[in-house]
Amino acid sequence: MTVDLELLIRAPRVVSGERGEPEQARAIGVSNGRIEALQPVDTPATARTVLELGPDVVVLPGLIDPHVHLCEPGNTHWEGFATATRAAAAGGVTTLVDMPLDSVPVTVTAETLAIKRSAANGQCHVDVGFWGGVIPSNLGSLRPLHEAGVLGFKCFLTNSGSADFPPLNARQVHDALAILRDLGSVLLVHAESGEAMAAIGEAHGPSYAGYLATRPRGLENLAVAELIEAARTSRGHVHIVHLSSSDALPMIASARREGVRLTAETCPHYLALTAEEIGDGATAFKCSPPVREAANRELLWEGLTAGTLDFIASDHSPCTAAMKELGGGDFGAAWGGISSLQLGLPIVWTEARRRGISLGQVVGWMARAPAEFAGLPAKGRIAPGFDADFCIFAPDESFVVDPQRLQHRHPVTPYAGRRLHGVVRSTILRGEAVDGKRPRGQLLARYAA
């Protein structure tokens, strides 16, 4: 091992994120913000700083969350770059990718991307990349946005909640996929059928069962089936965000066996929460698509372990307490989103460990796979040449969620009072601990091969 290291981490427990590699003892050498070498834990070395860890913690790659709504500029009173990235670091997340809506302006041109990057500059405590948006009016100008550095593109099939981000119809989805195919990019899709949803109508009142009835699995199933055929005929890459309907899993698996370019993610709330536990008026649990039944949750876990679902992303969708209707409890009026950025790893690990799923598998779903999907070749693994981004995690400790200890702007969470396993002791970004005071995060752009 080189002798001019800036940091040496000696750890009896390291989960590298490499496929099939077990937890093992390692000495991790860091220089210039990159991992220089992995050696046996007792390898002699000289370094400016040596971090000696005990057997109660595991070194993980810094987590990658590719589905986060950072509402700045324009709606910074919902969430902003400083607060969200501070929450990310508290949860072991070292890289976020921002969704193109919920800010003003929405990220649908190279010019609006520049506005968003300018707003983020100097505020971020972790690294941040950006998705671009596809709306009916910008299909002819996706290339400049691609060339400006977005990591991929996002669209809706139904009302996005933003008048500036209208949905695509079936023809427009196909056309967008063909354009992005030629650019070597991906189309992320909120997969609920707008046409079918319009026929059902909106929810009203405090009944969770009533809300669930307005967002049935069929809305997702129909949209997924249509997207599969669009991907098949266009030969483009479709990615389904925040899948909640387990009914769609056989369709996804079948299409992938046939060579359709299709990937999918799910979220911590679909893997942990159940419809049966949500009381009337409990609008902190509202999200879109909704949390479904316990049997559906178990099938989503099976989809992950079988590889039908590719990874886990938070869909951190923040808002003010007033927007969540916490006092009125009206599921129709409440904002549909759950803020779980800081809690994602403990939520998933709590559920995974009781199913006998290893921490290595969790790291695959929350670090390696999302990094590969988003085209971040230096992220998601502990290996020479990768960024020295680490999560120091105590998997056997537990804690009770206290909303006042959350770092995102509004401490609203359906996990309040819930005991979770796994404590993030510290987060390291390019070889330096994130202290929440000095923003050192970088703004990422599409990797040019």
CA torsion through residues 66, 256, 171, 233, sign: positive
pLDDT reported for residue 449:
45
Q: Is residue 135 a contact partner of residue 104, using CB atoms and an 8 Å limit?
A: no
pLDDT reported for residue 92:
98
Q: At a CB cut-off of 8 Å and minimum separation 6, what does 44 contact?
A: 1
Q: Which of 2-16, 65-79, 421-435 has the lowest mean pLDDT?
A: 2-16
Mean pLDDT of 256-283: 97
pLDDT reported for residue 3:
52
Q: Is residue 420 a contact partner of residue 401, using CB atoms and an 8 Å limit?
A: yes
410 pLDDT higher than 80: yes
447 pLDDT higher than 80: no
157 pLDDT higher than 50: yes
Place of tokens 């981000």: 165
Quote the pTM value.
0.97
CATH numbers and ranges of domains, the chain:
5-55 (no CATH), 62-381+396-421 (3.20.20.140)
pLDDT reported for residue 109:
98
Mean pLDDT of 133-150: 97
pLDDT reported for residue 1:
45
pLDDT reported for residue 4:
82
**For residue 355, what are its two tokens?**
């199913």
- d(C-alpha 255, C-alpha 269), whole Å: 26
364 pLDDT higher than 60: yes
Cβ atoms within 10 Å, residue 46: 11
pLDDT reported for residue 99:
98
Q: Considering just the CA atoms, what is the radius of gyration of the chain in Å? A: 21
352 pLDDT higher than 80: yes
CA torsion through residues 91, 117, 262, 190, sign: positive
Average pLDDT, the chain: 96
More confident: 397 or 45: 397
Q: What is the pLDDT of residues 37-96, one digit of tens each?
A: 999 999 887 889 999 999 999 999 999 999 999 999 999 999 999 999 999 999 999 999
223 Rama class: left (phi>0) / alpha (psi -120 to 50) / beta: alpha
pLDDT reported for residue 448:
55
- d(C-alpha 244, C-alpha 241), whole Å: 9
**For residue 277, what are its two tokens?**
């536990």
Instruction: Classify residue 137 as exposed, middle or buried by CB count within 10 Å of its CB (0-12, 13-18, 19+).
Output: exposed
163 pLDDT higher than 90: yes
